[in-house]
Chains A and B, each alone.
Chain A
Amino acid sequence: MIDPRSFLIAMPEIEVAFAGLFLLVVAAVCGKRETQRIGILAIATFMLAIVTMFSGKRLGLMFDGLLPAYAFGNQFVDDGFARFAKAIVLGASGLSILLSWDYFKKEGQERPEYPVLILFATLGMMLMISAGNLLALYVGIELQSLSLYVLAAFNRDQERSSEAGLKYFILGALSSGIMLYGISLIYGFAGTTDFESLMSSLRGAAPAPRGVVVGMVFVCAGLAFKLAGVPFHMWAPDVFEGAPTPVTAFFASAPKIAALALFTRFLLYPMYSLMNDWRQVIVFISVASMAWGAFAGLMQSNLKRLLAYSAIANAGTLLIGLIIGNSAGIQALLIYFVIYALGTLGAFGVILCLRRNGKPVEELIDLSGLSKKYPLVALAMAVLVFSLAGLPPLAGFFGKYFIFLAAVQAELVPLAIIGVLTSVVAAFYYIRIVKVMYFDEPLHTLDPLPDWGVRTVVGLTSVAVVILAFAPSPLVDSALNAAKGFII
Chain B
Amino acid sequence: MNSLPILSITTFFPLLGALLVFLFVKNGEKGAQRAAVLALLASLATLASSFYMLFRFDPANTGFQLMEQVVWIPSFSIAYIKGIDGISVWFVMMATILTPLCILSAMGSVKKRVKEFMIALLLLETMMIGTFTTLDFVLFYVFFEGVLLPMFLIIGVWGGEKRTYAAYKFFLYTLLGSVLMLIAIIAMILHFGTTDMTAMMGGKFPREMALLLWLAFFASFAVKTPMWPFHTWLPFAHVEAPTAGSVILAGVLLKMGGYGFIRVSIQMMPEESHFFAPYVIALSLIGIVATSFIALAQTDMKKLIAYSSVAHMGYVTLGLFCFNAQGFDGAMMVMLSHAFVAGALFLCVGVVYDRLHTREIARFGGMATNMPRYAAAFMVFALAAIGLPGTSGFVGEFLSLQGAFIANSWFAFIAALGIVLSAAYMLWLYRRLFFGALEKKDVRAMKDLSLRESAMVAPLLVLVLWIGLYPSTFRNVYAPTLDRTLTLVLAQMSSEQTEGQAEDQTEDQSGEEEND
Residue positions of A touching B, CB distance < 8 A: 371, 375, 386, 391-393, 397, 401-402, 404-405, 408-409, 413, 416-417, 420-421, 423-424, 427-428, 431, 434-435, 438-439, 472-473, 476-477, 480
Which residues on the B side are within 8 Å of A417 (C-beta)?
180, 183
A421-B179 in contact (CB<8A): yes
Alpha-carbon gap, A392 to B145, bound state (A): 6
Which residues on the B side are within 8 Å of A402 (C-beta)?
76
Contact of A416 among B72, B116, B172, B183 (CB under 8 A): B183
Alpha-carbon gap, A417 to B181, bound state (A): 10
Which residues on the B side are within 8 Å of A473 (C-beta)?
72-75
A401-B138 in contact (CB<8A): yes
Which residues on the A side are within 8 Å of B153 (C-beta)?
434, 438
Which residues on the B side are within 8 Å of A435 (C-beta)?
156, 164, 167-168
Contact of A424 among B72, B172, B189 (CB under 8 A): B172
Could you tell me which residues of chain B, from 103 to 146, have a CB within 8 Å of some CB in chain A? 116, 127, 138, 141-143, 145-146
A391-B149 in contact (CB<8A): yes
Contact of A431 among B152, B179, B190 (CB under 8 A): B152
Write the chain B residue with the least CB distance to A392.
B142
Alpha-carbon gap, A178 to B246, bound state (A): 58
Which residues on the B side are within 8 Å of A427 (C-beta)?
171-172, 175
Q: Can you identify 22 A-B contacts, CB atoms within 8 angstroms? A: A391-B149, A392-B141, A392-B145, A405-B189, A408-B183, A413-B187, A417-B180, A417-B183, A421-B179, A424-B172, A424-B176, A427-B171, A428-B172, A431-B152, A431-B168, A434-B153, A434-B156, A435-B167, A439-B164, A439-B167, A473-B73, A473-B75
Q: Given A438-B157, A476-B76, are A408 and B186 neighbors across the interface (CB < 8 Å)?
A: yes
B157-A420 in contact (CB<8A): no
B101 within 8 Å of A (CB atoms)? no
Which residues on the A side are within 8 Å of B171 (C-beta)?
427, 431
Contact of A391 among B76, B148, B164 (CB under 8 A): B148
Alpha-carbon gap, A186 to B280, bound state (A): 58
Residue positions of B touching A, CB distance < 8 A: 27, 72-76, 116, 127, 138, 141-143, 145-146, 148-149, 152-153, 156-157, 163-164, 167-168, 171-172, 175-176, 179-180, 182-183, 186-187, 189-190
A439-B172 in contact (CB<8A): no
Alpha-carbon gap, A417 to B212, bound state (A): 12
In the A-B complex, the 7 residue pairs with the closest CB atoms: A420-B179, A392-B142, A393-B146, A392-B145, A408-B186, A439-B156, A424-B176
Which residues on the A side are within 8 Å of B190 (C-beta)?
405, 408-409
Which residues on the B side are within 8 Å of A392 (C-beta)?
141-143, 145-146
Which residues on the A side are within 8 Å of B157 (C-beta)?
438-439
Which residues on the A side are within 8 Å of B74 (C-beta)?
473, 477
Which residues on the B side are within 8 Å of A401 (C-beta)?
138, 182, 186
Which residues on the A side are within 8 Å of B179 (C-beta)?
420-421, 423-424
Alpha-carbon gap, A427 to B178, bound state (A): 13
Which residues on the A side are within 8 Å of B73 (C-beta)?
472-473, 476
Which residues on the A side are within 8 Å of B138 (C-beta)?
401
Contact of B168 among A405, A428, A477 (CB under 8 A): A428
- The secondary-structure label for the interface of chain A is helix
Alpha-carbon gap, A391 to B142, bound state (A): 8
Alpha-carbon gap, A27 to B74, bound state (A): 49
A to B contact number (C-beta, < 8 Å): 88
Which residues on the A side are within 8 Å of B127 (C-beta)?
393
Which residues on the B side are within 8 Å of A480 (C-beta)?
75
Alpha-carbon gap, A404 to B138, bound state (A): 13
Which residues on the B side are within 8 Å of A476 (C-beta)?
73, 75-76
Which residues on the A side are within 8 Å of B183 (C-beta)?
404, 408, 413, 416-417, 420
Alpha-carbon gap, A472 to B138, bound state (A): 13
A408-B180 in contact (CB<8A): no
Distance in Å from the Cβ of B223 to the closest Cβ of chain A?
A: 12
B149-A386 in contact (CB<8A): yes
Distance in Å from the Cβ of A336 to the closest Cβ of chain B?
A: 14
Contact of A420 among B27, B116, B182 (CB under 8 A): B182
B76-A408 in contact (CB<8A): no
Distance in Å from the Cβ of B24 to the closest Cβ of chain A?
A: 15
Alpha-carbon gap, A476 to B71, bound state (A): 14
Write the chain A residue with the least CB distance to B157.
A438
Alpha-carbon gap, A405 to B187, bound state (A): 8
Of B73, B127, B156, the most chain A CB neighbours within 10 A belong to B73
Write the chain A residue with the least CB distance to B156.
A439
Which residues on the B side are within 8 Å of A386 (C-beta)?
149
Contact of A439 among B75, B141, B142, B163 (CB under 8 A): B163
Which residues on the A side are within 8 Å of B180 (C-beta)?
417, 420
B145-A438 in contact (CB<8A): no
Distance in Å from the Cβ of B8 to the closest Cβ of chain A?
A: 13
B167-A397 in contact (CB<8A): no
Alpha-carbon gap, A211 to B148, bound state (A): 52
Distance in Å from the Cβ of A465 to the closest Cβ of chain B?
A: 13
Distance in Å from the Cβ of B265 to the closest Cβ of chain A?
A: 20
Alpha-carbon gap, A435 to B363, bound state (A): 32
Distance in Å from the Cβ of A280 to the closest Cβ of chain B?
A: 22
Distance in Å from the Cβ of A144 to the closest Cβ of chain B?
A: 32
Distance in Å from the Cβ of A482 to the closest Cβ of chain B?
A: 12
Distance in Å from the Cβ of A156 to the closest Cβ of chain B?
A: 41
Which residues on the A side are within 8 Å of B116 (C-beta)?
371, 375
Write the chain B residue with the least CB distance to A417.
B183
Which residues on the B side are within 8 Å of A428 (C-beta)?
168, 172
Distance in Å from the Cβ of B194 to the closest Cβ of chain A?
A: 13
Alpha-carbon gap, A309 to B6, bound state (A): 45
Q: A473-B72, A476-B75 are in contact. List 12 more A-B contacts (CB 8 A).
A: A392-B142, A405-B186, A408-B183, A413-B187, A416-B183, A416-B186, A420-B182, A427-B171, A428-B168, A428-B172, A473-B75, A477-B74
Distance in Å from the Cβ of A222 to the closest Cβ of chain B?
A: 33
Which residues on the A side are within 8 Å of B75 (C-beta)?
473, 476-477, 480
Q: Given A386-B149, A392-B141, A472-B73, are A438 and B172 neighbors across the interface (CB < 8 Å)?
A: no
Distance in Å from the Cβ of A405 to the closest Cβ of chain B?
A: 5
Alpha-carbon gap, A434 to B155, bound state (A): 13
Distance in Å from the Cβ of B147 to the closest Cβ of chain A?
A: 10
Which residues on the B side are within 8 Å of A423 (C-beta)?
179
Which residues on the A side are within 8 Å of B163 (C-beta)?
439
Distance in Å from the Cβ of B302 to the closest Cβ of chain A?
A: 20
Distance in Å from the Cβ of A215 to the closest Cβ of chain B?
A: 36
Distance in Å from the Cβ of B113 to the closest Cβ of chain A?
A: 8
Alpha-carbon gap, A480 to B190, bound state (A): 18
Which residues on the A side are within 8 Å of B145 (C-beta)?
391-393, 397
Which residues on the A side are within 8 Å of B172 (C-beta)?
424, 427-428
Distance in Å from the Cβ of A375 to the closest Cβ of chain B?
A: 8
Distance in Å from the Cβ of A325 to the closest Cβ of chain B?
A: 17
Which residues on the B side are within 8 Å of A431 (C-beta)?
152, 168, 171
Write the chain A residue with the least CB distance to B164.
A439
Which residues on the B side are within 8 Å of A404 (C-beta)?
182-183, 186
